[in-house]
Structure 1
Amino acid sequence: MNQVVGNLIDLLKLERVSENQFIGRSQDIGYPKLFGGQVVGQGLSAAAQTVEGRFPHSLHCYFLRPGDTIHPIEYDVEIVRDGGSFSVRRVTASQAGKSILVMTVSFHIVEVGLDHHETMPNVPGPESFQSELSLYRKHADEIPDKVRALFTAERPIEYRIVENHNPFRPRPGIAKRHMWIRSVAALPDDELVHQSMLAYTTDYGFIETALTPHGISIGNPHLNIASLDHSIWFHRPFRLDDWLLYVAESPSTSASRGFVRGQIFNRKGELVASTAQEGLLRYLPE
């Protein structure tokens, strides 16, 4: 298995220290703050390990404090309810005795019922586009020295963005992005692995959609950007080692906060997951 993919799978497994307590390693990606998607993916993994025979269908979380890459992360899972069809878990992630994230996850048995979904946008397939990583490497001389290694390093998830442009010289446009995403290597036949890795993935490049109408780069030195909350709804089974289309749009930005929502489709055009997030977009130009 590809090493960076194997490392991510191991990162999301966690160490179980008691029935409802887990320890997660901190991933150092070359940036002092923890990547929010890591904490979301690990939190989902912790909650799922306390439930049997049911699968997560939604999660909602708030980022309370920035995490760091030095300390391990403690995950405490509270069993809120186990009903006839649904189970609910509340997860608190902490570092050095301080909470950095709270999450609620709902699990559901497998049922058959009514079925419809929105139509997948008609965009060219992933074969038509370069990977985001190749774009970053192409424009490496424009990336600040302190984060150049972060942006150009090998990664477990490949992103191919339909609206291809120089990410460090963006032009104002509509607040919508289409991103083809998939693991760079095959994944195990374990639904939780695919779900926790997608949870990890959905935080990447999401809130940046709210910057598109303003033509502001994520690397702008006058911009302070951070995820404030994150929600995911899992609608249908999927595989992250096959291409998925992540459609992100931002209907509003105001008061230094940007709101984004997303839809994720498989190659057959089925809607497999939906997302929503609000993030801090504090822009203070000189």
Structure 2
Amino acid sequence: MTGIEELLRLERTGETTFRAAGHGRTGADRAFGGAAIAQSLMAAARTVDPDRVVHSLHAYFLRGAEATAPTTFRVEPIRDGGSYTTRSVTTEQGHGVVLRLTASFSVPEDGMEHQVAELDAPSPEDSPGTAEAGAAADGAVRNWFETVSRRHPFEIRFASELPRLAAGRGESAPPRQRLWLRARDPLPDDDLVHACALAYASDILMLSTTLAPHATMIGAPGVSAASLDHAVWFHGPVRADRWFFYDQESPWAAGGRGLGQGRLFDRAGRLVATVVQEGMIRRRPVRS
């Protein structure tokens, strides 16, 4: 497992090009989509005046990426306006383009404020971690709980039963997941690093929410799933090395696709980001 700071360490190879070394365990490892988004956002931000902060990103996953392969990020300056800056990033590996990301940055300013969404969850101290949450499961579900925390540089605690447990029992569940996250390692006092860490975390478990009503899960026999596109709106700074809450739900699925929506709150209840993701979810024949 690679830490957030190491993941975001990009080598500048040109005025608007960057390179990241591979990370992961074996050549067969598939890179996590949130990692590619975080790195692409960092590349974009390194071509922007540091007084401008990211307020949104939109990404399309085009091909699977290998975790151990080096990655090149080609940043295209789209616009540098009086208040807003836009960058497009083409993220490539040896087999082609794996991600296209557009990010927008703005000069911080005062303005009208309101927030409708509220944080309503038990504290992280009162929420089970992966070992406790998966203790009653067996087989593939138990194995998932034992390994998920090792796949990401985040601690995870669950504010309600994960739908994966219901799927393991052959039951459907409401399409909602509620979890606390926190970076495992302390992070520097750099808002950009924390924004990139939040971008990484925004992809954790999101697509699996769409499968909850169908009594199945990602990785189950007969299920094929992959993220197609992902968008994040950043509403304010947050420290990703302190507990933050992620409330995920899926309002729709049809036609081989599912939609996920998420709201991220800091511990004080301030809405710090909104996320939307669409993914491919398909039934496929199970080979005997």
TM more than 0.5: yes
Report Cα offsets for 1:221-243 as digits up to 9, x if no partner. Answer: 21111110000000011111221
Moved more, 250-259 or 158-167: 158-167
Q: Secondary structure at the match of 2:197?
A: helix
Q: 1:161 to 1:213 in 2, by over 3 A?
A: same
- State yes or no: 1:22 paired with 2:18: yes
Q: Secondary structure at the match of 1:104?
A: strand
Q: Mind listing any 5+ residue stretches in structure 1 that lack a counterpart?
A: none
- State yes or no: 1:13 paired with 2:12: no
What is the identity, as a one-letter code, of the residue corresponding to 1:12? Answer: L
- Structure 1 distance, partners of 2:172, 2:138, is 22
CA RMSD of aligned residues (A): 2.3
Where do 1:173-252 residues align within 5 Å? Answer: 173-252=173-252
Quote the residue 1:169 is aligned against: 168
Quote the residue 1:44 is aligned against: 41
Quote the residue 1:90 is aligned against: 88
Q: 1:140 to 1:54 in 2, by over 3 A?
A: farther
Q: 1:259 to 1:243 in 2, by over 3 A?
A: same
Q: Is the 8 A contact 1:136 1:151 kept in 2?
A: no
Q: 1:94 to 1:155 in 2, by over 3 A?
A: closer
Quote the residue 2:283 is aligned against: 283
- Structure 2 distance, partners of 1:140, 1:99, is 39
- Structure 1 distance, partners of 2:108, 2:150, is 39
Q: Secondary structure at the match of 2:13?
A: strand
What's the offset of the Cα at 1:67?
0.8
- Structure 2 distance, partners of 1:49, 1:109, is 15
- Structure 1 distance, partners of 2:68, 2:151, is 21
Q: Is the 8 A contact 1:157 1:183 kept in 2?
A: yes
Report Cα offsets for 1:167-190 as digits up to 9, x if no partner. Answer: 461531211111111112322110
- Structure 2 distance, partners of 1:148, 1:112, is 43
Calculate percent identity across the aligned residue pairs: 36
Quote the residue 1:273 is aligned against: 273
Q: Is the 8 A contact 2:248 2:260 kept in 1?
A: yes
Moved more, 228-237 or 276-285: 276-285
Q: 1:112 to 1:132 in 2, by over 3 A?
A: same
What's the offset of the Cα at 1:82?
0.4
Quote the residue 1:125 is aligned against: 123
What is the identity, as a one-letter code, of the residue corresponding to 2:123? Answer: G
What's the offset of the Cα at 1:163?
2.2
Q: 1:86 to 1:29 in 2, by over 3 A?
A: farther
- Structure 1 distance, partners of 2:117, 2:55, is 20
What's the offset of the Cα at 1:142?
3.2
Q: Number of residue pairs matched?
A: 281
What's the offset of the Cα at 1:134?
4.9
What's the offset of the Cα at 1:36?
0.5
Report Cα offsets for 1:22-64 as digits up to 9, x if no partner. Answer: 0012331566321111110000000000011101000001001
Q: Secondary structure at the match of 1:153?
A: helix
Q: Secondary structure at the match of 2:194?
A: helix
What is the identity, as a one-letter code, of the residue corresponding to 2:92? Answer: S
Report Cα offsets for 1:194-218 as digits up to 9, x if no partner. Answer: 0111111111100100111112122
Quote the residue 2:155 is aligned against: 158
TM-score with structure 2 length normalisation? 0.90
- Structure 2 distance, partners of 1:220, 1:149, is 16
Q: Is the 8 A contact 1:247 1:263 kept in 2?
A: yes
Quote the residue 1:257 is aligned against: 257
Q: 1:34 to 1:18 in 2, by over 3 A?
A: same
- Structure 2 distance, partners of 1:89, 1:56, is 10
